[in-house]
Amino acid sequence: MSSAATTAAAVTTSTLASGRSQDRDLRSLAFLGALWFSLFFGVAVLFALIVDTAISGAPRFDSALFTQYTQTFDPERAEALAATGRDPKDLSAAYTGFRSGIVGSIILMITTALLAIPLGVSAAVYLEEFASKTSRFSKVVEVNLQNLAAVPAVIYGMLAATLMAVVGVQRGIAIGGAVALALLILPVVIITTREALRSVPDEIRQGSLALGATVWQTTWRQTLPSAVPGISTGTILGLSRAIGEAAPLVMIGFGAINFAPEFPFVTSKIEAFPLEIFNAASDSKEVVQQAASAGIIVLLAMILGMNAVAIIIRNKFQRSW
Amino acid sequence: MTALTQPGPPSGAGPAPVLTARPRPGEAVIKACLMTAAAASVLVTAGILFAVVEPALEFFSRVPAGEFFTSDTDSPYAVYPLIVGTLLTTAIALTVAVPIGLGAAMYLSEYASKRARKWLKPTVELLAGVPSVVYGFFGVFFVIPVVLQGWLGLGISAYNPLGGGLVLGVMIIPTVASLAEDSLSAVPLALRQGSLAMGANRMQTTLRVVFPAALSGIAASAVLGISRAVGETMIVLMVCGSIKNMSLNPGEGHETMTGTIARTALGESPVESTEYKYLFAVALLLFAITFVMNMVSIAIVRRFRQAY
């Protein structure tokens, strides 16, 4: 947010403090009401979404959701279930869990972070601290990044699938998904890191350079540490986007996995949480859809939690110079 | 003075301390590594082009272009029905996202105090963080059966672009709001002060002075919104249906471009089959559309930045 805008708002507000009555005619109030509606419409939809999903998923908030794998209909177990007096049709509901998806998504997220953060921060440091702003290279990279930020997610999946085919690895393994997600969030990481570096005042750099530090020493010991809150906010937001993304993983060939990933995890076939929710939601059995609702609440809790952490870091730790 | 070619300090930091400079090979190595990282982003674009163009060409070598560029819904490779589905969904999404995103941007830029904005802005942006699978689920199990068919009593099919577009519109509100707010905030303060000095109230200032001055940036935000809507996959896959349809009625099921891509990838077609190559031909068209949209948006933003 530009400081000019902040000042503008402050001045506008104070200017109007004396003549506020002008704002009170019917049309102004209707306009203000429309703005309030716009601001809170989205939040209201999100609220309705959470409430509706929580109600339909309510019967499935149990530990099986986290501890069990997705189960297919197994006659032996159905018989055992029938013996206890429960409807065998409930089998898939009683035993459907998202263990493989939750484990898989955590592996994916860590691998994605390990790939995207070093690459993204390095690129941002080069563009902000080393490259000349007017060079053709910087301009090309800048336009390219703005474009990449809006390239559809499925296309990143195609890129990663092609890379995997070129390298010659199996489809559906963790590293392929992590590459797709890392490339997807790379523009976000680079753009937010650049903003964080830009907000560090030049006096800090000049002071360091004046004491004889090189440009890299200045960056590593002064600029980067000061920019850490901004960088972590952007990175967490990027990762929260990555964890909920399913489209690129479809292209990589992620499928239903009902076993624990083997060590080392990055070359193991894994399942992703959002993809597992998608499969459960597409199931015709109502009991499985119920599990999907409960899974969505868990996924939303993870993502909203990450967003909350990012917002708190941004508002509490970011220094205003 | 060969030392002048040393990496200089960032702009604004004054001239580099060349007098004391001695060769530092480590510094050059680090700079080269960082530059490689920056160049990698260009490689990503090149990689995308390669990954999409090569199989798309393979597709066109097997299937005549006439079977691709046709509105014949019986042709398995027809692309015009997919474009119709994508256009309907995008148009409905934009009808939701542009007015609401713009309204939120106006409030944040012109009305909210600094303190309020600090919390309101992330709240609006939260909508972009919700996974598209979740929006898709909400569209299929709530928006279409409960809101559209139930409350509004519309006689529409179970999967349609109307529901998909509405949900997608909510998802791209933050995209529109964030860019629109940037452009509203970039309008010089003097314009507002002039308007207020003439006796206009906040609404008049916002609508008659700030809004026209920021119009190009707002247009850019809408164009970026189109790009997002065209490329979104999971929502349209789940909500819009899977029938190739040339009708312009958003209440009927329509297959879309991204929907076809994901459905083919989820299906049983082997990777080398013509069916699978078809999805790359659709993806190439999709990439071309979003690329043009992004470039238009970037060009508009550049232009209005130079104006002030």
Return the pLDDT at A71. Answer: 62
Q: Which of A31, A190, A283 to mutate to test the interface with B (most CBs of B within 10 A)?
A: A31
Q: Which fold has domain B65-307?
A: MetI-like fold (1.10.3720)
State whether B20 and A212 contact (CB < 8 Å). yes
Asked if residue B69 has pLDDT above 60, the reply is: yes
Given CB atoms, is B262 within the 8 Å cutoff of chain A? yes
Which of B141, B125, B231, B133 lies closest to B181, judged by CA? B125
- Provide, as residue numbers in chain A, all residues whose Cβ is less than 8 Å from the Cβ of B8: 132, 215
Quote the percentage of chain B above a pLDDT of 70. Answer: 91
State whether A245 and B131 contact (CB < 8 Å). yes
State whether A15 and B291 contact (CB < 8 Å). no
Cis peptide before A118 (omega within 30 of 0): no
Q: Residue B10: phi, psi to the nearest 5?
A: -60, 155
A254's CB contacts (< 8 A; 6+ apart) are A172, A177, A270, A271, A272, A275
What average pLDDT does the segment B35-50 reach? 89
Split at pLDDT 50, 70, 90, the class of B17 is: low
Return the pLDDT at B307. Answer: 55
A101's CB contacts (< 8 A; 6+ apart) are A271, A272, A273, A274, A275, A276, A277, A295
| Half-sphere exposure at residue A280, Cβ-oriented, CA atoms within 13 angstroms | 31
Q: Could you tell me the residue ranges of all domains in chain B?
A: 23-62, 65-307
Q: Give, as one character, the DSSP assignment of residue B144.
A: I
Which of B193, B190, B216, B191 lies closest to B305, judged by CA? B216
State whether B42 and A186 contact (CB < 8 Å). no
Closest residue, chain A, to B27 (C-alpha): A216
What average pLDDT does the segment A4-24 reach? 53
User: Cβ of A181: how many Cβ atoms within 10 Å?
Assistant: 31
Pick B173's closest partner by Cβ from A42, A126, A240: A42
Asked if residue A93 has pLDDT above 60, the reply is: no
A135's CB contacts (< 8 A; 6+ apart) are none
Asked if residue B149 has pLDDT above 50, the reply is: yes
Average the pLDDT over each of A181-190, B219-228, B269-278 and give the range with the smallest value: B269-278
Given CB atoms, is B302 within the 8 Å cutoff of chain A? no
Average the pLDDT over each of A253-262, B33-42, B113-122 and give the range with the smallest value: A253-262
Return the pLDDT at B2. Answer: 42
State whether A150 and B14 contact (CB < 8 Å). no
Q: Which domains are seen in chain A, by residue range?
A: 99-268+300-317 (1.10.3720.10)
Instruction: Report the mean per-residue pLDDT for chain B.
Output: 85
- Provide, as residue numbers in chain B, all residues whose Cβ is less than 8 Å from the Cβ of A140: 42
Asked if residue A20 has pLDDT above 70, the reply is: no
Given CB atoms, is B287 within the 8 Å cutoff of chain A? yes
Please give the helix or strand (H or E) that residue B51 lies within, else none. helix B25-62
- What does the pLDDT look like over B72-88, one tens digit per residue? 877 888 888 899 999 99
Per DSSP, the three-state class of B7 is coil
Asked if residue B93 has pLDDT above 90, the reply is: yes
Asked if residue B116 has pLDDT above 50, the reply is: yes
The pTM of this model reads 0.84
Return the pLDDT at A279. Answer: 85
Which of B196, B183, B195, B203 lies closest to B111, judged by CA? B203
Given CB atoms, is B8 within the 8 Å cutoff of chain A? yes
- What does the pLDDT look like over A108-147, one tens digit per residue? 999 999 999 999 999 999 998 888 878 888 888 888 988 8
Pick A159's closest partner by Cβ from B8, B14, B48: B48
The separation between CA A111 and the C-alpha centre of its own chain, rounded to angstroms, equals 14
Vertex A126: Cα angle to B182 and B48 (nearest 5): 75
- What does the pLDDT look like over A255-289, one tens digit per residue? 777 666 777 777 778 888 898 888 888 877 777 78
State whether A150 and B228 contact (CB < 8 Å). yes
Cα dihedral A137/A143/A145/A147 (nearest 10): -150
Return the pLDDT at A155. Answer: 92
State whether A274 and B118 contact (CB < 8 Å). no
Which residues in chain A (57-116) have CB-CB distances under 8 A to chain B?
none
Burial grade of A95 (CB within 10 A; 0-12, 13-18, 19 or more)? middle
State whether B37 and A119 contact (CB < 8 Å). yes
Which residues in chain B (78-137) have CB-CB distances under 8 A to chain A?
99-104, 106-114, 117-124, 126-137
The separation between CA B125 and the C-alpha centre of its own chain, rounded to angstroms, equals 14
Rounded Cα–Cα distance for residues B271 and B59 (Å) = 12
State whether B202 and A28 contact (CB < 8 Å). yes
Shortest distance between the Cα of B196 and any Cα of chain A, in A, equals 8
Asked if residue B3 has pLDDT above 50, the reply is: no
Give yes or no for a contact between B105 and B177, defined as CB atoms under 8 angstroms apart.
Answer: yes
Shortest distance between the Cα of B172 and any Cα of chain A, in A, equals 10
State whether A141 and B40 contact (CB < 8 Å). no
State whether A281 and B137 contact (CB < 8 Å). yes
Given CB atoms, is B42 within the 8 Å cutoff of chain A? yes
* Helix/strand/coil percent split, chain B, to 5: 75, 0, 25
Given CB atoms, is A317 within the 8 Å cutoff of chain B? no
Shortest distance between the Cα of B156 and any Cα of chain A, in A, equals 20
Helical segments of B107-198, H only: 114-129, 132-138, 161-185, 189-197
Return the pLDDT at A19. Answer: 45
Rounded Cα–Cα distance for residues B72 and B81 (Å) = 8
Pick B52's closest partner by Cβ from A127, A146, A155: A155
Given CB atoms, is A38 within the 8 Å cutoff of chain B? yes
Quote the percentage of chain A above a pLDDT of 90. Answer: 23
Return the pLDDT at A78. Answer: 59
Given CB atoms, is A274 within the 8 Å cutoff of chain B? yes
Amino acid at A54: A
Which of B271, B109, B81 lies closest to A164, judged by CA? B271
Quote the percentage of chain B above a pLDDT of 90. Answer: 23
- Provide, as residue numbers in chain A, all residues whose Cβ is less than 8 Å from the Cβ of B205: 12
ipTM above 0.85, yes or no: no
The secondary structure of B52-103 as a DSSP string is HHHHHHHHHHHS-HHHHS---TTSTT--HHHHHHHHHHHHHHHHHHHHHHHH
User: Cβ of A212: how many Cβ atoms within 10 Å?
Assistant: 9
| Residue whose token pair is 């592996």 | A107
Cα dihedral A100/A103/A108/A110 (nearest 10): -170
How many residues does the structure list for chain A?
321
C-alpha separations of A263 from A181, A260, A266, A267 in Å: 21, 9, 8, 8
Asked if residue B215 has pLDDT above 90, the reply is: no
What average pLDDT does the segment B103-132 reach? 87
Instruction: Report the mean per-residue pLDDT for chain A.
Output: 81
- Provide, as residue numbers in chain B, all residues whose Cβ is less than 8 Å from the Cβ of A250: 233, 262, 265-266
A226's CB contacts (< 8 A; 6+ apart) are A200, A204, A319
| Residue whose token pair is 């163009």 | B53
Return the pLDDT at A18. Answer: 42
What average pLDDT does the segment B185-201 reach? 89
